[in-house]
Structure 1
């Protein structure tokens, strides 16, 4: 399984994302740049320039027509995937830390940072898909401040107007975006800050990673913890593997502590765990620093990891991976 090394960033990666078909991979980093790559060969298709700060987050709609980015220059930007043009920019008092489209690409939710007297805020914008996309409303459809611990990650669930959030204190919650009220929460989902949140294909369950060295699968309706994967290193990202009973976890010791640790002690591997048995089944090495973000191809044919070292590594699975029968003779489709 030889990785394709994507060298398009000068600083550490913050998030990577496949589009719905899986033929494109979007990457953003602290160097103010968003890149898009062809998945099959790692060729760079283009660059989205215009941000004046760290790009923290990126998401692409189901039709691969629009892409959203959130950055430390306090902007949320709408881009044309095809032309690379910045179609619209929303400005806020603080940095945008997370963006996510809903399942049909008509709405986007974003989290802005708690800084300089401003509270953490969650806003939902209606995306006008008519015309060329430049005619957008500057006002949010819904706006509220989550009470208590600030939100770090968010995503739409399969229930209309309900979003799933992860927080700095380690709690996960469900919010009704119309009223801004907390519908449900689990205060003890994690012991420390929730670093990543990725949904299953049907949005009925999700996986969160945390600095408390664990990743957990939650039911998105009841917030019940279904599975727990405990490691000995802080985790920055976690993802599901479609059509296979695996989850992928990535992390590693903090960058500032890494100078005192060797590569092996830093634990900079992508770790494969069995989704049902909660056992580690394999590791893939390669990065020279903590893994900050992991994304899996929607068809499960490959995965990509982005690290503190500024590299994105795309791993296409070998034939032996597809010939293995984790369910015995059963063929299970997600």
Structure 2
């Protein structure tokens, strides 16, 4: 499995995301320019220029007409995908940590960090009227987060609720009509780095610093499966065609030099979704893997690392022929 190496960022990758068709791959990093690539051949299509700080989160709507990004420069921006021009800019009190379009893409959610005496807050905005005046518009809903800050977020497929992952390992479900908390579980003991849906939005997977990735039922936040590793998990994704899960992680870059290179374990690991058994590893990155994503057709996956590289892996035929004995 020979990967395509995408080198367009100067610093560590923070998030990668495919559009719905899978022909484009969007990436953000600790440099201030999100990129967009052709996923088939790795050609860079362009950059979104305008941020002044590390870009922590990105999302693209289902029609691939709008793209959004949140950054450490205390701004949340919405862009036109076709031209790369900025069409909306919202200034925030602290850095924007997570963002996501609703399923219909008529609304969007973003959250800010607890920093500089500012509380962590969640904002729901209307994205149908995006122009220069969006910065002055009041959000539809504004929810202050009293406890641990939000570190990852998901929008429910029927646009009725939002699921947030927190710094203390808690997962919370919010009702969008009232802005109140519906449900909350605490299955992780440390920061939740990433949450991703399965193909039909009935389950989601979380990746945590407590060395585990966990599978949850979306409706009642019931814990279904746990995938254990011996290092922090930064990202996890579910295959759209098989019962497979890929997790990526590794020790923080600052801790790696104090241990042997082997202990860092900068490889993507594949688990069977039901049996929780590891059946494969893919090496290649020179630092922790910060984000993984399956292609919507399930025939390839991508990983973005602390080394600033994105690796697009197309699966060999042996992957599709592999069967578990049961």
The match for 1:284 among 272, 282, 285 is 282
**Matched-pair contact (CA < 8 Å) for 2:103–2:159:** no
Report the 3-state secondary structure (helix = DSSP H, G, I; strand = E; otherwise coil) of the residue aligned with 2:145.
coil
Cα distance in 1 for residues equivalent to 2:72 and 2:263: 32
Deviations 1:209-243 (A, max 9, x none): 10000000111111110000111100100000111
Report what 2:62 is aligned to.
Answer: 62
Please give the root-mean-square deviation of Cα atoms over the aligned residues, in Å: 1.5
Cα distance in 2 for residues equivalent to 1:77 and 1:3: 31
Query: C-alpha displacement at 1:183, in angstroms?
Result: 0.3
**Matched-pair contact (CA < 8 Å) for 2:291–2:304:** yes
Matches for 1:247-326 after TM superposition, within 5 Å? 247-325=245-323
Query: C-alpha displacement at 1:205, in angstroms?
Result: 1.0
Cα distance in 2 for residues equivalent to 1:139 and 1:29: 29
For the pair 1:35 / 2:35, whether they are aligned, the reply is: yes
TM norm structure 1: 0.94
TM norm structure 2: 0.96
Report the 3-state secondary structure (helix = DSSP H, G, I; strand = E; otherwise coil) of the residue aligned with 1:5.
strand
**Matched-pair contact (CA < 8 Å) for 2:119–2:146:** no
Query: C-alpha displacement at 1:181, in angstroms?
Result: 1.3
Report the 3-state secondary structure (helix = DSSP H, G, I; strand = E; otherwise coil) of the residue aligned with 1:145.
strand
Report what 1:167 is aligned to.
Answer: 166
Deviations 1:75-125 (A, max 9, x none): 110011110101110111000001111112111111111111111000111
Cα–Cα, structure 1 residues 112 and 175, in superposed 2: closer, same or farther, change >3 Å?
A: same
**Matched-pair contact (CA < 8 Å) for 1:34–1:49:** yes
For the pair 1:232 / 2:218, whether they are aligned, the reply is: no
Deviations 1:164-202 (A, max 9, x none): 010011010101133221100002x10101000001122
Query: C-alpha displacement at 1:265, in angstroms?
Result: 1.2
Structure 1 stretch displaced more, 176-185 or 305-314: 176-185
Cα–Cα, structure 1 residues 326 and 79, in superposed 2: closer, same or farther, change >3 Å?
A: farther
Deviations 1:34-75 (A, max 9, x none): 110000100101111110000001000000000010000111
Report what 2:108 is aligned to.
Answer: 108
Report the 3-state secondary structure (helix = DSSP H, G, I; strand = E; otherwise coil) of the residue aligned with 1:320.
helix
Query: C-alpha displacement at 1:295, in angstroms?
Result: 1.0
Report what 1:204 is aligned to.
Answer: 202
**Matched-pair contact (CA < 8 Å) for 2:103–2:158:** no
Query: C-alpha displacement at 1:136, in angstroms?
Result: 5.9
Query: C-alpha displacement at 1:158, in angstroms?
Result: 2.8
Report what 2:149 is aligned to.
Answer: 150
Cα distance in 1 for residues equivalent to 2:210 and 2:265: 15
Cα distance in 2 for residues equivalent to 1:65 and 1:233: 38
Cα distance in 2 for residues equivalent to 1:98 and 1:144: 14
For the pair 1:23 / 2:23, whether they are aligned, the reply is: yes
Query: C-alpha displacement at 1:159, in angstroms?
Result: 4.2
Cα distance in 2 for residues equivalent to 1:103 and 1:326: 34
Cα–Cα, structure 1 residues 105 and 326, in superposed 2: closer, same or farther, change >3 Å?
A: farther
Structure 1 stretch displaced more, 139-148 or 206-215: 139-148
The answer for unaligned runs of 5 or more in structure 2 is none
Report what 1:6 is aligned to.
Answer: 6
Query: C-alpha displacement at 1:263, in angstroms?
Result: 3.0
Cα distance in 2 for residues equivalent to 1:159 and 1:117: 35
